[in-house]
Structures are given as C-alpha cells and as structure tokens.
Structure 1
Amino acid sequence: MSAIPVTIAPRVPQPAARAAGALGDPLVDTHGRVHRDLRVSLTDRCSLRCTYCMPEQGNEWLAKTSILTLDEIERIARVAAADGITTFRLTGGEPLLRADIVEVVRRLAAITGPSGEPVDIAMTTNGIRLGEVLPDLVDAGLRRLNISIDTLNRERFRDLTRRDRLDDVLDGIAAAAASGLRPLKLNAVAMRDVNDDELVDLVEFAISHGAQMRFIEQMPLDAGHTWDRSRMVTQDEILRTLSARWTLEPVPGRAGAPAARWTLDGGPHTVGVIASVTAPFCGDCDRLRLTADGQLRNCLFSSTEYDLLPILRADGGAPGDEGIDGMLRSCVAGKLPGHAINDPAFLQPARGMNAIGG
C-alpha cells in the first residue's frame, strides 16, 4: 500500500498559550507538574499486528516525507534536555525497524542537561531483531529496555499478533537478560479470555530472566476503536490472581512512574501494574510525547497535537531553538488535569497506539 499522510484532530501550528519560562527553564504545566520524560516515536510501522493495537491489513502509514529525520530528532531532544527533560524513551510502532536506530541512540546519548549530566536513553520494543542489534545499542548508550510479551503460548501469540514470531521475541528477551541492562522490564496487556490465565506464568518467566513483569490495563487506543470496558482485566483482578501465588506488599515512592509496584513474598522481586483506567496516575504525570511525524502530545489520550514540522523545516530546516522551546511550552500549557477516560463524554483518540508512540 502506498503511504498516505494521516490527518487527525486539531493540530496547533504555532505556539498559543505558553507555559511560563524561556529556553532553559523547567517545563511546568498549569497544575504544577514538572516534565522530565519525553517519549519519542521513531516510526508508526511494526513487525507485529497485535489485535489491541493495529488492524492486520489496510493500515495507512505515515508518509516517509513526514517522518522526522535523525537531525530533527536530535535538535528537538537538545532543546528538550535544556528545558529539563532527563529521559528519552524510544518507541514506535517498533523502533528497531528504523534503519538508523543505533545512530539515534548514539546521538541522543551524547546530549547533556543543564547540569552537565547525560540524559537517560530507554527503549520499548517487541524484542524482534533485538538479539542482532543489542550490542551496538548498548555501545551507543542505551541504558534501559522494556520488552512486550503478552503470552508464552505459541498459538496464542500467533493469534494475538497475527505473526508467528514468538521465538524471535524470546531470543530478544534472552539477549536483554544477558546484556546486563537493568532494570529490565517485560510488559503484558492483560486481556480477558486471552491471557488472563497466564499472569502467574508471565511473572515467573520474568523472574527467571532477571526482569520485572508489568501488567497493563487494556486502554482505548486500538486503531479499530473496539475497546470494551467490560472486557478489561482490572488492576484489582490482576492483584487478586497474583495474591493466590505470592504475598504482595506495595512498594512506596512511586512518584511519576506509570507502574505501581508490589514486592513478591517480601522481595527482592517485584511486579508492576499500569492501571491507567481504574487507578489513573495523571496527578503525577511528567511525560510528553513526540510522534514520528513531529507532533507533540501532552497526553496519550489527547485530541490535540502541536506541530513541530513547520518550525523544523522553515528556512531550509535550520530553526531557532526558541521556536522548538515555544512549542514545547505551548504543549505543556495545554495539558489537562487528567485523561478523562472515566468521563461519559470521553472520546478515543483518532490515532492508534502505533501512531502515537508507546
């Protein structure tokens, strides 16, 4: 299929309301939240077709001309780091599909913040191709990994992802476990009548690989808009299932982390749950998102995007840093107190998760 530019709900082409401050000042929204984390989507394409994320066929991919270049990603990241962003998480789609992924990591890892400290480079991946590129990624400066693994059952994996690639994912997890990158986190979307009978098995698998298992409540982010709240496995259900196997104790000090954690039988192993629907953590959210086509988003569920492309590509592609800073501050200024999933008037974002970035 030919690439078709994706147009969605309102984009803001130029800064409107701005968060207080100028280039080099922290990114603080109107609710007092200081932003330190930028999720950078490198592509909307993926090597899997998970049912809760993408259709098997008929995907309208972003046009190649709209995808941010390596130089553009680096320029945005340098401005963001000057404004206090300390963590860059590389996502997709599947970030390892990007041909220049090692150089992306290398360029971003060379960035330092106002205090001279290097930024933290993390990645969320499905693990396919990880075994072949991980040594180069580590050499380039990758520090942390999250790997998605929703089931250990081959037939289920094939049905869920519409691809027979479980062995490749398992090879990637084994490579990550051997790499020494820690903390290593494995992510699974908990789904009723799909993998809710594997929760204990997944935790035990993670422990055997020196990793922390994290379960995610299924969110309304599928491209087909088929999400059904009544079919969602809640945090309470997940904890009840795990409590039949382990004694769980909450870990204090969550701060802005998306996952609440519990120790298993007193530790040292832990399990995490990201309960965006039943236990939102919006009050401590410190994240912004950058899509592969240069749109800033202040919430995963936002219907508004802040378009950096006109700034980046004006005058031959050499924008002033103040323009990027201004758009970051406009994005932060527009951030709402919460995502409103539990509001009857909530509308699912037009983009699917693969186009927004995890």
Structure 2
Amino acid sequence: MRRYVSKLTNWHLGFRNLNPLMVCVDCGSGSLSKICSFSSCCANLNEDSVKDNPVSDMLTDSFGRIHTYLRISLTERCNLRCQYCMPAEGVELTPAPKILTINEVVRLASLFVTSGVNKIRLTGGEPMIRKDIEDICLELSNLKGLKTLAMTTNGITLARKLPKLKECGLTALNISLDTLVPAKFEFMTRRKGLEKVKQSIDTALELGYNPVKVNCVVMRGFNDDEICDFVELTRDKPINIRFIEFMPFDGNVWNSKKLVSYSEMLDRVAKKFVSVKRLNDHPTETAKNFGIEGHVGTVSFITSMTEHFCAGCNRLRLLADGNFKVCLFGPSEVSLKDPLRNGADDMILREIISAAVKRKKAAHAGMFDLAKTANRPMVHIGG
C-alpha cells in the first residue's frame, strides 16, 4: 500500500479502505499527476498491527486522521529560559493547585490508551522538575495497550535520575540541545549547563537508549553554523539529530529572517556528507529522516514551517493545567480538568475529547499567519 490519502473525501491511514483520489501525506501534493519522489511515499503500513489495536471513534477526526499519540505536559515550570520557548520577562505560571495531579494525569491517560493511544510523550516546561516523575512513569508504563512511553527533556538533571526512570518504564528519550558552544548555550538558555546535557546524552547511550534523539532548533545567525558539527555526533553513536525549523509562539520574537528552512539545512548537510540518503518514514512521522553512509546514527528535519505534515498528524496534547489541545499551532483548547474535578464520569470525558478531536482542522495556517495568531508560549503548551 502506498502512502497516499484522499483529499476529496474522508481518509484513513491504513485503518479503512483508501479512496483512489490520492494526495501524498509527506509533501501534501493534491495533483493526481504529481507524486512526491521521496522514498517515504513507499513506506508500508502494517495493517495487521492496526487491526490488532483498534482505535475508537473518539480519536478519529472529521478528516479520518487517527490519533494514537498523546503528549502530556506535566509542568509549566522549567530550569532553563530558552529564548524560543519563553519570553525574556518570563511567563505567568498556573498556580500549583490548578496543575494536574498524578492521579488526574493517569486517569486521563488511561481514557486515551483504552481508546487506542499507544504512545505517550511526557513534556513540560521541564518534566524532570516534577518530584513525582518516577511514579508517573511507573503508573503510565503499566497502562495496558501503551507501547511507548517517551520524554522530551532539556537534560539538565536527567543523568542522575535516568537509571530509575528506565526501571519505571521510560522507553524513549528526546534531549533538547541547540548548540555545542558553552557561551552560546548560556546565551540561548540564560543559564549554564551544557556539560550536564552532554552527560545526560552519554548516560542515555550507556543505558541502551537507541536512538537517543537530540532536538536542535536552528536559528540563523545563532547556531546554523553548527549544523554539520551536530551531524558529526551521529558518526559513531546511535544518536538521531533532529533539526527543527524555528517556529512562532507568543513571546519568542519570531522572525522569518531567523528561519533556516529544511531545504537549506539539507543542502548544507549534503555538501559535506555526500552519501546522505532519505530513509523510509512512517506515514505519521513528523520528521524527514536521513541516513549517512558509515554513520551509526541518523539525521532528521522537522519542517513545520516550510513543509507541514498535517495530513498525517496523529498527535494530541494534554497541557499541565488540564486543557486539551488538538493542534500545536491551534489556539483552541478545552478543559478536561474542570469536568474531571466536578465529578464527570468517563463517558462525559470521552464525549468532550471526541468533540474536540472532531473540530480539528485539516491543516494549520501558514507560517506568516501563525506569527500573527495568538497562541500560548511554548513553555505553557509543552515541547
């Protein structure tokens, strides 16, 4: 089965029959005569695995997208002050009593998992700040049907706690690192800590995480000169460097001149690493993935600004304050915490979730419109 979906009728990523009028979910081409040449268009869907893990209607939107991936922000607090994530003056944080408790997180997560979610990613703020992070991982990893429990972290305090977190069921890691230069790190994060992040990456490798994903937001004039230095990290270690296009959020002073596009980043990599080759991507993959001959690790590009991947989106977000968000760039949110604390049963919560999922739009706005659209700072939404 080729990786195309119908743009003219409801479509289903491998869960139901595909309509013959197809559009590539990787490049979004709507022309029947124009087919994306990337190898990812030939990625096969494992229909048997979908049948074995049926997804309820609650997680299927009006365009037929099936949402099996839930990102849960555990806190709005962070021990760094990254410029693309948080305004210089800081942000007003939600009072602690209004943040989801461990029991509320687990109950809501259970609703999603029993409906078909098989991957959960813990984010923040900085999720390691939660004192009950180990208990949260243990409770979530024990949910029947959950296949992957991942975390995105800045790595500042990760190394010390990671062995225990792995024992508690944490199966995958993304560690944020935007520069390999100490002075730049301190400038970007407004804090020291580069060596601690490097130590966390090494610890993750030693504990057998494979790959260890390293998220790098690329900004012109700041770290775009380090792109190939990051790629070198993949030569001898199972590291997946994930170059992320700079995205607009409230307070991060986004400017298109700071944006380094996917095509420009790939061109820089290809000029130095001539054997770079596109890999097959899963239809719901957010990144465009590449391998380099002789390298143990891989390189990826997350192209939210220049080549969106909305057609294959399978992600939902539960924010630390209990709000539910169906699109990273969409301002619409609905509270799950309020009805939960007011005694709503599972059926009511499922109805609220389902209604929000059904309202999800086909695609987010273009990058210049996004820059003008009110949305919360990234630290509120979750990385």
Is the CA contact (8 Å cut-off) linking 1:263 and 1:270 kept in structure 2? yes
User: Paired residues, what number?
Assistant: 328
User: Could you say which residue in structure 2 is the equivalent of 1:180?
Assistant: 208
2:67 is aligned, of 18, 35, 38, to: 35
User: Could you say which residue in structure 2 is the equivalent of 1:94?
Assistant: 126
Shift of 1:268: 5.1
Is it true that 1:145 corresponds to 2:173 in the alignment?
Answer: yes
C-alpha separation in 2, matches of 1:90 and 1:341: 27
User: Could you say which residue in structure 2 is the equivalent of 1:334?
Assistant: 359
User: Could you say which residue in structure 2 is the equivalent of 1:52?
Assistant: 84
Is it true that 1:237 corresponds to 2:269 in the alignment?
Answer: no
User: Could you say which residue in structure 1 is the equivalent of 2:277?
Assistant: 249
Letter in 2 for 1:51: Q
Query: Structure 1 residues 281 and 266, CA, compared in 2 at 3 Å: closer, same or farther?
Result: farther
Is it true that 1:163 corresponds to 2:191 in the alignment?
Answer: yes
Query: Structure 1 residues 352 and 207, CA, compared in 2 at 3 Å: closer, same or farther?
Result: farther
Query: Structure 1 residues 80 and 162, CA, compared in 2 at 3 Å: closer, same or farther?
Result: same
Letter in 1 for 2:102: L
C-alpha separation in 1, matches of 2:332 and 2:56: 25
Shift of 1:312: 0.9
Shift of 1:150: 0.5
TM value normalised by structure 1: 0.88
TM value normalised by structure 2: 0.82
Is the CA contact (8 Å cut-off) linking 1:128 and 1:172 kept in structure 2? yes
Shift of 1:82: 1.1
Is the CA contact (8 Å cut-off) linking 1:147 and 1:185 kept in structure 2? yes
| Superposed counterparts of 1:306-345, under 5 Å | 306-315=334-343, 319-342=344-367, 344=369
Is the CA contact (8 Å cut-off) linking 1:37 and 1:87 kept in structure 2? yes
Shift of 1:270: 2.0
- Partner SS state of residue 198, structure 1: helix
Is the CA contact (8 Å cut-off) linking 1:183 and 1:212 kept in structure 2? yes
Is the CA contact (8 Å cut-off) linking 2:58 and 2:115 kept in structure 1? yes
Shift of 1:173: 1.0
- Partner SS state of residue 365, structure 2: coil
Is the CA contact (8 Å cut-off) linking 2:201 and 2:212 kept in structure 1? no
Shift of 1:185: 0.5
2:94 is aligned, of 30, 45, 62, to: 62
Is the CA contact (8 Å cut-off) linking 1:340 and 1:346 kept in structure 2? no
C-alpha separation in 2, matches of 1:71 and 1:51: 33
C-alpha separation in 2, matches of 1:169 and 1:248: 27
Query: Structure 1 residues 24 and 285, CA, compared in 2 at 3 Å: closer, same or farther?
Result: closer
Query: Structure 1 residues 64 and 78, CA, compared in 2 at 3 Å: closer, same or farther?
Result: same
User: Could you say which residue in structure 1 is the equivalent of 2:52?
Assistant: none
Is it true that 1:226 corresponds to 2:253 in the alignment?
Answer: yes
Q: Deviations over 1:177-215 (max 9, x none)?
A: 111022210010011010011011112124444211110
Letter in 2 for 1:328: I
Shift of 1:65: 1.3
C-alpha separation in 1, matches of 2:192 and 2:235: 25
Shift of 1:296: 0.5
Shift of 1:225: 4.6
Query: Structure 1 residues 154 and 343, CA, compared in 2 at 3 Å: closer, same or farther?
Result: closer
C-alpha separation in 1, matches of 2:179 and 2:226: 7
C-alpha separation in 2, matches of 1:298 and 1:123: 19
Larger displacement relative to structure 2 (348-357 or 134-143): 348-357
User: Could you say which residue in structure 2 is the equivalent of 1:129?
Assistant: 157
RMSD: 1.7
Larger displacement relative to structure 2 (306-315 or 186-195): 306-315
Q: Deviations over 1:225-246 (max 9, x none)?
A: 5111122000011101101221
User: Could you say which residue in structure 1 is the equivalent of 2:25?
Assistant: none
- Partner SS state of residue 108, structure 2: helix
Query: Structure 1 residues 251 and 266, CA, compared in 2 at 3 Å: closer, same or farther?
Result: farther
Q: Which has the higher contact order (CA 8 A, sep 6+)?
A: 1
- Partner SS state of residue 160, structure 1: helix
User: Could you say which residue in structure 2 is the equivalent of 1:13?
Assistant: none
Shift of 1:286: 0.2
Query: Structure 1 residues 225 and 168, CA, compared in 2 at 3 Å: closer, same or farther?
Result: closer
Larger displacement relative to structure 2 (122-131 or 200-209): 200-209
- Partner SS state of residue 255, structure 1: coil
C-alpha separation in 1, matches of 2:371 and 2:258: 18
Query: Structure 1 residues 48 and 144, CA, compared in 2 at 3 Å: closer, same or farther?
Result: same
Shift of 1:347: 3.5
Larger displacement relative to structure 2 (195-204 or 244-253): 244-253
Query: Structure 1 residues 327 and 185, CA, compared in 2 at 3 Å: closer, same or farther?
Result: same
Is the CA contact (8 Å cut-off) linking 1:151 and 1:157 kept in structure 2? yes
Is the CA contact (8 Å cut-off) linking 2:234 and 2:296 kept in structure 1? no
User: Could you say which residue in structure 2 is the equivalent of 1:17?
Assistant: none
